[in-house]
Amino acid sequence: MRSFIVYVLVLSVDFVAFCVLDDRLSRWSDQGNATACLCWQWVATGIRWVLLSGVVYWANTGSSVVLKRWLTTHCLLGSLFKTGQFVLLGNYPLGTAWRWLSNVLAAASATLFWEFSCPDKTDGSNGKQKTQKARVLFQRVILLYRPDYLLLMGAFIFLTLAVLCEMFIPFYTGRVIDILQSQYQWNEFVTAILFMGLFSLGSSISAGCRGGLFMCAINSFTFRVKIMLFRALMNQEIGFYETTKTGDLTSRLSTDTNLMARAVALNVNVILRRFIKTLGMLSLMLSLSWKLTLLMLMETPITGLLQNIYNTFYQKLSKDVQDSIARANDAAEEAVSGIRTVRGFNTERSESRRYNDRLMDTHNLKNRRDTVRAVYLLVRRITEVGMKVAMLLYGRLIIQSGQMSTGNLVSFILYQSDLADSIRSLIYSFGDMLNSVGAAGKVFEYLDRKPEVSTEGNLQPDSLEGRVQFQNLTFSYPTRRDQKVLTDFSLELKPGQMTALVGPSGGGKTTCVSLLERFYQAQEGEILLDGQPLQTYQHKYLHRKVAMVGQEPVLFSGSVKDNITYGLGKCDLQRVQDAARKANAHGFISQLEKGYDTDVGERGGLLSGGQKQRIAIARALIREPQVLILDEVTSCLDTESEQAVQQALASCPNQTLLVVAHRLKTIERADQIVVIDNGAVIEKGTHKELMEKQGSYYRLKERLFTDS
Ligand SMILES: Nc1ncnc2c1ncn2[C@@H]1O[C@H](COP(=O)(O)OP(=O)(O)OP(=O)(O)O)[C@@H](O)[C@H]1O
């Protein structure tokens, strides 16, 4: 309400001041002294500005930036407008009230333009920080381009050449028209045509070279960044993958790296090209007619405002479309990768519906985005036509007064449409560049991310006993920080001994294994291997010495041999076969069509669950680990295979063996059975001891192992 009163007060004071000052202005005008009129106009502007600022200061409206800007624009614009009018026409065709109203409207649109195009950077630190961040990101992208500087430099040279050549084509078109209109000399005409042809050819060749070099630079940049990003992602801890959506990661790798490459090469290409062209064309246009140029430049703020409003809406909607496409892709990927479950539960229709709904979202968003674009194009065309009409009318005037030839007007109009395109494209590319730099920000976020579970240890002792101590571990998963899975958990695994973890489902057995594999970092306590904290060991060394076979063994596409030697590089076949024999896998592998060279299919899809499990065991055994972890491995194995595997494991007397098992046979022969429930050890001992005790293990045995 207070602001409203202030605005009304300011407008009233302004109206009175305007009337009084305008009276004086009219008198100068009546005397026909245009120069004195213009000078008085500027003096009046100063007086009004001081007066209105005084009112705002007196009303103590705080630091209303919009009001101050409006005031300045409101006072200044009239004078600027009239100066332009004076320069172009030299008279004042409007009455006092109309002039005041046109002043108000012009100032309001200028303020709006100001607000949209240059959001306040001093108002809050946010805008400033954003710009600064964009600048830093941009610099980083440029630095990443370092290996391609030569290509970029070549591209920029061709860019400049292409633009220079392009600029002279309309000029010579106008000349040819002028020559044709006069009693021309044949050689004059041929020379003009020849120049036009030469400049066209030069522009095409240079543009081609420029495009090629830029594309080369972009491709090589994208290739490098993708590799860097993938490497950085591979180093992240498991928790990172649990908290980040797969769709996000793939879109960083595919879309954002491309956008980032475009940020510099394509946008800078466009911006520079357009900038050089704009400057060149402006100087050529000024030389043709500075009055027409001035008139034409009046379109720029309107074009800028339109483009800026459009960019804001369009970019937001484009982002929404991207997100919705990612959601639709997620739904499709989930259904395809879980097709067996989908079929098993007869959910084909509901999965199709889910995908359909998400696609529908994308479709609606795309429609909205395209409508915004259509409206923008319509308004833009109307503005363009309006400006063209104004220019032709004014052009007629100056041709009639002999200040310009027809050919020059044709050249000018050709330049004008090009210039309008250049300015629009400059504004768009600038917005797009900021957008692309935003994508770069997301890529850098992952590139800079330090994994929470460090892999930077460097301890690699020659011999390892394999004594593992879990010391007072407290742990909760990154996705559920408030739910403690292990509380003050302590346990020792002795070398040469087999420890079996048992307990009700969800008790925390697999969590212990995951911590020993360093998939996660406990919040409190630590795990020692031979008395040294696990994180001090070198990453590669640790995973050679501590090997695990998980609940659901994952194989990668490739041969059986590739999968067994996974991560070891070259290994001779004998070693591979020995490991396969220990895992009771050699028999079935030998019967496969190509033996160890047989392809296992994507994720090992061409093998049975038990076969995959045995290959996974062979993959762990070939490393001859000092600590071997088997997490419910035997669940997929038949009794015969299980016995064979047990025997093989018994043949490594010094190995520390940690087994999570549900089969009594596996557990019975363990040196130590540990019952885990609710993230804590509730009972410990040999099978015999625990049975005699008739505690948790005894009850668990009754409940869980009766099938054995
Ligand atoms: N990645 C995860 N993120 C969040 N919570 C998890 C995760 N994995 C397991 N949990 C939770 O941690 C608890 C312990 O799970 P854990 O897998 O260690 O149990 P378990 O004893 O191995 O069970 P099971 O015998 O069924 O395999 C459970 O409550 C489970 O829901």
- CA atoms within 13 Å, Cβ hemisphere of 680: 6
Q: Are 37 and 29 in contact (CB under 8 A)?
A: yes
Residue-range domain boundaries for the chain: 2-117, 290-403, 484-704
- Please name the amino acid found at residue 279: L
Q: Which residues line ligand 1 (CB under 6 A)?
A: 242, 477, 479-480, 485, 503, 505-511
DSSP 351-375: HHHHHHHHHHHHHHHHHHHHHHHHH
Q: Are 441 and 137 in contact (CB under 8 A)?
A: yes
Q: How far is the CA of 512 from the centre of ligand 1 (A)?
A: 10
pLDDT tier at 117 (50, 70, 90 boundaries)? Answer: very low
Q: How far is the CA of 511 from the centre of ligand 1 (A)?
A: 6
Query: Which value, to the nearest 10 degrees, does the dihedral of the CA atoms of residues 199, 201, 202, 204 take?
Result: 120
Report which protein residue has its CA nearest ligand 1's atom 26: 505
Q: How far is the CA of 507 from the centre of ligand 1 (A)?
A: 7
Count each helix (H run) and each strand (E run) in the chain, helices first. 25, 10
Report which protein residue has its CA nearest ligand 1's atom 1: 477
Q: Which of 63-77, 314-328, 656-670 has the lowest mean pLDDT?
A: 63-77
- Cα–Cα distance, 43 to 17 (Å, whole number): 12
| DSSP H or E segment with residue 502 | strand 498-502
- Cα–Cα distance, 586 to 580 (Å, whole number): 5
Q: Are 671 and 499 in contact (CB under 8 A)?
A: yes
Q: How far is the CA of 391 from the centre of ligand 1 (A)?
A: 75
Q: How far is the CA of 510 from the centre of ligand 1 (A)?
A: 7
Q: Are 502 and 697 in contact (CB under 8 A)?
A: yes
- Cα–Cα distance, 397 to 517 (Å, whole number): 85
Full-model pTM: 0.66
Q: How far is the CA of 632 from the centre of ligand 1 (A)?
A: 13
Report which protein residue has its CA nearest ligand 1's atom 31: 506
Q: Are 467 and 494 in contact (CB under 8 A)?
A: yes
Cβ atoms within 10 Å, residue 438: 19
Q: Which of 58-67, 310-319, 538-547, 605-614 has the lowest mean pLDDT?
A: 58-67
pLDDT tier at 121 (50, 70, 90 boundaries)? Answer: very low
pLDDT of residue 705: 60
- Cα–Cα distance, 403 to 412 (Å, whole number): 13
Q: How far is the CA of 567 from the centre of ligand 1 (A)?
A: 27
Contacts for 135 with CB less than 8 Å, ≥ 6 apart:
none
Q: How far is the CA of 483 from the centre of ligand 1 (A)?
A: 11
Which is nearest to 608 in space by CA: 579, 586, 588? Answer: 588
Report which protein residue has its CA nearest ligand 1's atom 16: 508
What token pair was written down for 365? Answer: 């968003």
- Cα–Cα distance, 708 to 700 (Å, whole number): 13
- Cα–Cα distance, 256 to 438 (Å, whole number): 9
- The pLDDT tens digits for 355-394 are 999 999 999 999 998 899 899 889 888 888 888 888 888 8
520: left (phi over 0), alpha (psi -120 to 50) or beta: beta
Cα–Cα distances (Å) from 576 to 69, 318, 556, 572, in that order, read 78, 52, 17, 7
pLDDT of residue 122: 47
pLDDT of residue 630: 85
> What value does the mean pLDDT of the chain take?
80
Task: Provide the residue count of the chain.
Answer: 708
pLDDT tier at 230 (50, 70, 90 boundaries)? Answer: very high
Q: Is the confidence at residue 249, as pLDDT, over 70?
A: yes
Q: Are 232 and 445 in contact (CB under 8 A)?
A: no
Mutate to test the pocket of ligand 1, among 487, 509, 516 (most ligand atoms within 8 A of CB): 509
Q: Is the confidence at residue 92, as pLDDT, over 50?
A: no
| DSSP H or E segment with residue 156 | helix 149-181
Report which protein residue has its CA nearest ligand 1's atom 6: 477
pLDDT tier at 469 (50, 70, 90 boundaries)? Answer: very high
- The pLDDT tens digits for 683-705 are 888 888 888 888 888 887 766 66
pLDDT of residue 334: 85
> What does the pLDDT average to over 568-583?
85
Pairing state between β 524-529 and 672-677: unpaired
Q: Which atom of ligand 1 is nearest to the CA of 512?
A: 18
pLDDT of residue 286: 82
> What does the pLDDT average to over 47-56?
82
What token pair was written down for 491? Answer: 């346990």
Mutate to test the pocket of ligand 1, among 510, 658, 666, 703 (most ligand atoms within 8 A of CB): 510
**Hey, what CATH topology would domain 484-704 get?**
Rossmann fold (3.40.50)
pLDDT tier at 227 (50, 70, 90 boundaries)? Answer: very high
- The pLDDT tens digits for 416-450 are 777 777 877 777 777 777 767 777 888 888 998 88
- Cα–Cα distance, 252 to 267 (Å, whole number): 20
- Cα–Cα distance, 106 to 78 (Å, whole number): 8
Report which protein residue has its CA nearest ligand 1's atom 9: 511
Q: How far is the CA of 530 from the centre of ligand 1 (A)?
A: 27
- Cα–Cα distance, 539 to 518 (Å, whole number): 9
Cβ atoms within 10 Å, residue 76: 18
Termini Cα distance of the chain: 82
Backbone phi, psi, residue 345, to 5°: -105, 10
Contacts for 151 with CB less than 8 Å, ≥ 6 apart:
213, 214, 216, 217, 220
